[in-house]
Every structure is written in C-alpha cells, then in structure tokens.
A and B are shown apart, each in its own frame.
Chain A
Amino acid sequence: MAASLRSPGWYRAALWTAIGFVFAFALVVGIRAAADFGVVVQWDSIITVALVTMPIFFLYGIGCFDTWLYWISGRPTKPDDHSDHGAHSWKDYFKVNTDHKVIGIQYIVTTFFFFMIGGLFAMIFRAELLQPGMQFIDAQTFNGLFSAHAALMIFVFMVPVFAGIANYVLPLMLGAPDMAFPRLNALSFWFLPCAGIMFLASFLAPGGAFATGWTAYAPLSDQAPLGQTFFSMGVQFAGASSIATAINFLVTIITMRAPGMTFWRMPLLGWANFATSLLVVLATPFIAGSQFMILFDRALGMNFFDAAQGGDTVMYQHVFWFYSHPAVYIMVLPGFGIISEIISANARKPVFGYRMMAFSLLAIVVLGFAVWAHHMFVAPMQNWIRIPMMFTTMLIAVPTGVKIFSWLGTMWRGVIHLRTPMIWALGFMTMFVLGGISGVMLAVVPFDIAVSDTYFVVAHFHYVLFGGSLFTIFAGIYHWFPKMTGRMYNETLGKWHFWTTFIAFNATFAPQHLVGLEGMPRRVADYAEQFAAWNMFISISSFVLGASMLIFIYNMVYSWRSGPIAPANPWNAHTLEWQVSSPPPIFNFDDVPTVVGHPYEYGVPGARHGIFKEPEPVVAAVAGDSSTTSTDEGEPAPA
C-alpha cells in the first residue's frame, strides 16, 4: 500500500486529490484568517481554489508530471525505455501512457462516455418538453440540464473526440513513430476527464449546476450560483487540453512526415488537422480569456462586466464568439478530412480537386476569424458591424461548397462501395448541406433577428453538429475500427445504426425549424399550447435517437471482443496506416516508409503512395488498384 501510494497510479491520484482539497482549504482559511476577513471558512472561495488544486494534484498523482519533475530536480535524464508504450490489457488504458495509439483510444472512449451522459441529459429535458406545462423538473434544473448537455457535447466530446481519432491515425498516416511530444500528449488527454467531471460535479454545487447555457453570457454568469465556477474552470482544463494537442499536431505534421511526403502528398486528414490546429492555437486562448474574466469577477470581485463600474458586457460576447465561432470549424474540419479519406477509398477514385481541398481548408481558417459577430445581431453592438459580418458569413459558404463539390466529384463515376463508413459519409453530406443552408439563412441580418433565440437556431446547429460533425465521427470510427482493434465491426448492425439514427435525427430536428419559425423560444422549460403536437413528436423521436446509440455501443463492444479478425487493409486504401498490421505494431513501423506518390491514386495502374524497406511488414504498398477484387459489402477484401 505504501509503495503504491508513492508510485504513479490511482491510489496516489486519490491521495493527492484529497491533499489538493486540504491544501485549498488551508490556503483560503489561512489567508482569510491572516487578512482578518469576517468569515474565515468561506466555502465558495474554498471550492473555487479546490477546483484548481484538486485536478492538478490529481494529474500529479496519476503520473503526468513524474518525468518532468525528475528532470527539474536536476538529476541526469533517464533514457526512455518506452516501458509505458502499448497496452497489454484493458487496465493499461487507465494508466498514463505515452503511446499515441493508446492515447487515441483513451480519448475516444472517454469522450464517448461524456457523449452518452450529455445525450441522457438531452433526453431528460426532452421528456420535460413532451407536454406543455411543468411536469417533473423545475426550471432551474432544466436550465442546468441543457447547459450541461451543451458543455459536455462541445468541450469534452466534439472537440476532443476528433483529437482522439487524429491521435490514433495521424502519426501512422504521416509515417511517424509517435507524436512529437508524447508526454504532453498524455497530459492533454488527462486534462479531459478533469474537465468533464467538473461539469458533472456542478450538479452537486449549492444552487445547482451552471444554468447559463454553454455561452455563459455576462453579467448573468457573474451573478449565477457556485455551479458557474465549475463551468468556467472546466472550460480552462478542456481548453488547455486542446491547445496542447494542437501544438503537438502542428509540430508532428510539419516536422515528422515520412521522407518524400511533401505537403502536397499529405493525406487530407493531415491537412484538416493542420487547419484545425491553427484555429485551436489562435482561437482557444480567447475562450480561456473570457472565462478568466468571469472567474476574476466571481472570485476576486473584479468588474469586467459591471456597467456601473465601467464594465462592458458586450465585450464578453465579442471575446467569447471570437473563439466560439472558429470552434464550429474546430468541430467540423477534422471531419472534412475523415470524409475525404472515406469517400476516396470507398469510391475507388482519386480525391477530386485535392489542392482545392487543402486551400479551402485554409480559406475557412482565415474567414472563420472574420464572422464572429453574426452571433450578436441582436446584441447592442455597433450597427455597422452587422453588414460586413453578414457578408463574410455568406462568403464562408464558398470554401465549404468547394468541399461538397469535391466529394461529389470524387464519387462521380466511381465504383462506390456502400460500406457503413461510406453510408455515414453520404449521410453527413446531405445533412451538412441542409445545416449549411439554414446557416446562410441565419447570416441574413433581418432573418436572424426574427428567429433569434428560437428553435430554428437549435435546428440549424444540430444539423451542423449532429448531422454534420457527429456523422463524420461515426464514419471515422467505423472506418478505422479494424485498424484500432484488429477486428471487424458488424456491417449489418452498422447499417441499422445508421438508418435508425438518420431517421430519428431528422424526425427530431427537422420539425424544430418549423416551431422555431413559428416563434417557439429555445432554452425555456415551458411553451405555448400551439407547439404541443410537434414537441411530443420531437421528444419521442429524440428517445428513438437516443436508443439508436445503443446499437452502436453494442456493435463496438461486441466486435472489439469477438468480431472477426481484421486484415491489415480491409478497404484496400493506399494511405500508410493501412500498410501496417491491424492493430499496428507497438512502434508503428520497423523502418519509416518512403512516400513516392499521392495518397489517393485509386484506379491508377501502378500508382504507389508509400514503399517499405524489405522485408515488407505486412503488405506490399498497394500496387495498382484492387477495387475489382473487392467482394460484397461487409466482406473485407483480402489485402
């Protein structure tokens, strides 16, 4: 026991989390006693400080800092024996691990855990909305539930799950043995459970969970009960995680590509994560800033948002949306990359307009910083900002349209294999176009003013984030499931999952356009009688939507345990990750392969992307195209 309290792990983590609490308690009580403040034991302050110390002490306990502290102690550096590489049993996934493949799976499983809870919250408040009037939760709980739903989905699911998929796939795809900074990578992951648990723990705070939506507008969030502090602090941890990961991706993508892999030979998933990481590094500090201001106002009595003291509440919205608009691209650009990989491999055609795909990603990065105030058309900001923002917002549909046409062009006259990932990709395209169209509608100032804060907005962003981003996530998970687990998922269940989700998703969110246009306000626990019929339909659909996720979970768990063994390259794809075994060897490659051509030359005779030193690890780099040898859907073609 004593030894396990000294070595990294859960016992030491528990001990240090407790020490973190005691430390916060002693610090606050000590300062208040010394400074002669009236009340010495002030729980709001103690918990605020504990929300900083407990996670950091936990991270120390679990072992995120050990090597760095050893170095800081001034002793000679130890050679890294890579003993923490790879996972040999499920227990290894609960330890600090520096292997990008382990971290990728840790990310995906953890984020899906929070996804399920966030979805459950949605179903609880949809149950309340089944009928007009108040049934079984009060308005404050309702506000807490929809706020936590959004916070979980955005900060600890949508943003990090893409980091998880890219973590697993990207180093393999680029021909790198690992990420550039493996220990920072591990730390990035362990920040996430800290953030997610903080969001959830806010329900235990006096006054209930944070109830100001995920936007936490000031001055409401300045005055809200203690639960709000849990939100602001959780966002800091999630933000630190995403900045650290973005730096890691950028350095990996720029400095660790295989020989011969120029930027124009890099798979589009690499480009997509390059663009996303730029957005994260530049934009995420702004949400950190906005939440610091809220925290300073709340904890130190500062007056950023108190108009009587010269504060400016509209400034909060500017700072917040300067991150949170780019955040929607952070939540969808990696998905664009995933879709390009899947459509090209499943249509057996080179990506149409590869360079335009890369340029349009960069155009979205640039334009994404010039549209934030379209969220503020009803805020008391300067009127002249509206028209330029409307213009730039509409303009951003151009690079997005480039992508849609590239995918269509890629499929044109292709030999399309309708496997589960491909079906999700097609579902994504249709749903994302619908979300994009309502997005252009919302860019129009008068229309936006008319439907502001109605269910039309809710419908729009669920088409973009659920029908858009989440569909790409499912596509990506199915596509790389054989690579990650070494087993095939079940095609039939995958298709059942798609069709139930697709139908239930549309049944849930399409009618929200209508009730929104009729003026039903969002974020309100009760509604007028006239919306009753549609809301009952929406609520019941949302339960079906929730249930459809069980098919996915069952398929994943069952297939991971006992699905058929996956070949190295079930999709006959050309990118490097498919040229190694499934799952890949512990250090990815025995020797880094050399890249000699484009990644998507499907159907081009004799085309090669990467070549491996003899003896070849698993398969020869795909020579020619074997799409004609692919058998029926569901039956992976022999590699």
Chain B
Amino acid sequence: MEAASAAHAEHHGHMPVANASAKINREYFGMVLFIVSEIMLFASFFTAYFFIRVVQGEPWMPEGQELPVYVAMANSAILFSSSATMHWALEGLKHNNRKAFKTGLVLTLILGSTFLGVQISEYVHLGFLPKDSAQASVFFSLTGIHGAHVAVGLIVLATVTRRAFKGHYGPEKDKHWGVEIPGLYWHFVDVMWVFVFTSLYLL
C-alpha cells in the first residue's frame, strides 16, 4: 500500500503538490509510527506477563508445562537469519543486483515460513493448552500474536516477491520504498521475537 500511494503521488493531476516539510519519506514514517503502536500492543501483553510472573510470583512455567527451549532456540536462529536475507535483498535492489534481490526475498519467505511451521508444530506437541494456566494463556497469546505478525509479514513479502519477479522496483530512490518499508516491518517482527523469546523461554 505504501508503494501504491507513493506511485500515485506522481500522478497528482491538478492537485497541488504538498510541500515536503520534513525529509523523511511519508510511507516509511507511517510505518515507523505503526510499529511504535505495535510495540505498545506487545507491551500490554508483557504487562500481563510481568504481573503474573513477577508481581504475583507464579512459577514460570507451572509444573508439567515445560517449554522446548532448544527447539525454540533453533527456530529463533532461523527467524534472525531471515532478517539478514531481507537486508541482503534490499542491498541487492539498491545496487541493481536483481539476482541478489530476488534470491534474498525468496530466502526470506522460506525462512519465515519455516519459523511459522515450527511454531505451529511446537503448539501441537507442547502437551498443554492456553486454558491450562494463566502462564499458558500469556505464552500462547504472546507467541500467537507474534506469529500473526509473522504471517502478515509473509503475506506482504509474498506480494513484494511477486512484483519483484514481474520486474517492479528499482535502485532509484523512489523505487525501493515498496521493498524497504515491508523490510522494516519484517525487522521489527524479528526484533520483537528477541524479547518474546527471551522472556518466555530463557528467563
């Protein structure tokens, strides 16, 4: 949607061009603000985590509801490497290396989907359900909401990839926002996982 409105801005017809009172790209800035509000959404669930685990002092996790730390660690490595491939794709685009651009995007998609698949299989094999304890509710909510963000990111990146193979985007400054902005969102999803993973699995 960002790229679409960026493209539309070129066709203003008889609409006056808005003055650019700040140097930042509007769509990019909009995404930054959206990410800020997303961070606050995660923060509200971390508040629940904090109150249940720290303020109430409930054990983490309850007896018989252990989390598979090593599986999650491996899965985290997969997700973090997808951030690297995303960065590689964007650099490829900026240096007009379309092969790196496309390969990077495809790799990101594969790694992201693998993460999501492992996460779903983890849910199935955990042996407990969201309703089994407040801790389980927090665990499933935080990982579930994060997973939903990964899924949204994958849908957006799939769209970007499809357009990339159709020859869209370019190294020019106004032609790479359509990749850079979804990329920023993808990095946010990865960074958020650091906090989710650390607080749920490691601590």
Binding site for B on A (CB under 8 A): 67-68, 71-72, 74, 77, 79-82, 175-178, 180-184, 243, 246-248, 250-251, 254-259, 261, 281-286, 288-290, 292-293, 296-297, 300-304, 306, 309-312, 314-315, 318-319, 322, 587-592
Contacts and interface: CB of A to CB of B under 8 A. Distances in A.
A302 B14 CA distance: 55
Nearest to B18: A256
A102 to B, nearest CB: 15
Nearest 4 interchain pairs by C-beta? A289-B44, A79-B11, A310-B134, A302-B137
Nearest to A297: B137
Contact of B40 (A68, A178, A180, A282): A282
Given A281-B33, A303-B136, 14 more contacts: A71-B3, A79-B10, A176-B18, A184-B1, A184-B30, A281-B37, A286-B47, A289-B41, A303-B131, A303-B137, A312-B51, A312-B52, A314-B51, A315-B55
Interface in B175-202: none
Interface of B: 1, 3-5, 7-8, 10-22, 24, 26, 29-30, 33-34, 36-38, 40-41, 43-45, 47-48, 51-52, 55-56, 58, 62, 129-138, 140-141, 145, 159, 162-163, 166
A288 B37 CA distance: 11
Contact of B18 (A177, A306, A319): A177
A318 B54 CA distance: 15
A82 B12 CA distance: 8
Given A82-B15, A254-B22, A255-B20, A296 B52 contact: no
Contacts of A254: 21-22, 24, 29
A315 B52 contact: yes
B141 A68 contact: no
A510 B4 CA distance: 54
Given A77-B4, A292-B141, A302 B43 contact: no
A589 B78 CA distance: 51
A82 B9 CA distance: 11
A285 to B, nearest CB: 4
Nearest to A310: B134
Contacts of A243: 37
A175 B29 contact: no
Nearest to A306: B134
5 contacts: A175-B19, A178-B18, A281-B37, A309-B132, A319-B48
A310 B130 contact: no
B63 to A, nearest CB: 12
Contact of A77 (B8, B52, B166): B8
A303 B134 contact: yes
Contact of B16 (A255, A261, A590): A590
A161 B119 CA distance: 42
Given A285-B41, A290-B44, A304 B138 contact: yes
A11 B184 CA distance: 38
A174 B135 CA distance: 49
A183 B9 CA distance: 13
Contacts of B38: 285
B40 A296 contact: no
Nearest to B53: A310
A255 B29 contact: yes
B16 A177 contact: yes
A51 to B, nearest CB: 18
A568 B56 CA distance: 62
A258 B22 CA distance: 11
Given A286-B40, A301-B130, A592 B18 contact: yes
B51 A183 contact: no
Contacts of B166: 74
A304 B37 contact: no
Given A288-B44, A314-B51, A592-B16, A247 B22 contact: no
Contacts of B45: 289, 292-293
A79 B8 contact: yes
Contact of B47 (A80, A251, A310, A318): A318
Contact of A315 (B26, B30, B48): B48
B189 to A, nearest CB: 16
B18 A283 contact: no
B134 A311 contact: yes
Nearest to B2: A181
Contacts of A178: 15, 18
B41 A247 contact: no
Contacts of B137: 296-297, 302-304, 311
B43 A67 contact: no
Nearest to B156: A72
Nearest to A180: B26
A310 B58 contact: yes
A177 B1 contact: no
B1 A183 contact: yes
B29 to A, nearest CB: 5
B159 A74 contact: yes
Contacts of A74: 159, 162-163, 166
Contact of A285 (B17, B40, B56, B140): B40
A625 B21 CA distance: 29
A285 B19 CA distance: 31
Contacts of A257: 19, 21
A401 B21 CA distance: 32
Contact of B7 (A77, A256, A282, A284): A77
B135 A310 contact: yes
Contacts of A314: 51
A181 B138 contact: no
A588 B15 CA distance: 9
B19 A302 contact: no
Nearest to A281: B37
B47 A315 contact: yes
Nearest to A85: B15
B174 to A, nearest CB: 13
Contacts of B138: 304
Contacts of A587: 14-16
A562 B77 CA distance: 68
Contact of A293 (B36, B43, B141): B141
B37 A284 contact: yes
A175 B166 CA distance: 38
Nearest to B34: A247
A306 B62 CA distance: 15
B134 A304 contact: yes
Contacts of B30: 180-181, 184, 247-248, 251
B35 to A, nearest CB: 10
Nearest to A282: B40
B118 to A, nearest CB: 22
A361 B131 CA distance: 43
B5 to A, nearest CB: 6
B51 A318 contact: yes
A261 B21 contact: yes
A176 B33 CA distance: 20
B19 A258 contact: yes
Contacts of B5: 181-183
A246 B43 CA distance: 19
Nearest to A312: B51
Nearest to B11: A79
A187 to B, nearest CB: 10
B171 to A, nearest CB: 19
Contact of A67 (B4, B10, B162): B4
Contacts of A286: 40-41, 43-44, 47
A68 B156 CA distance: 12
A296 B3 CA distance: 35
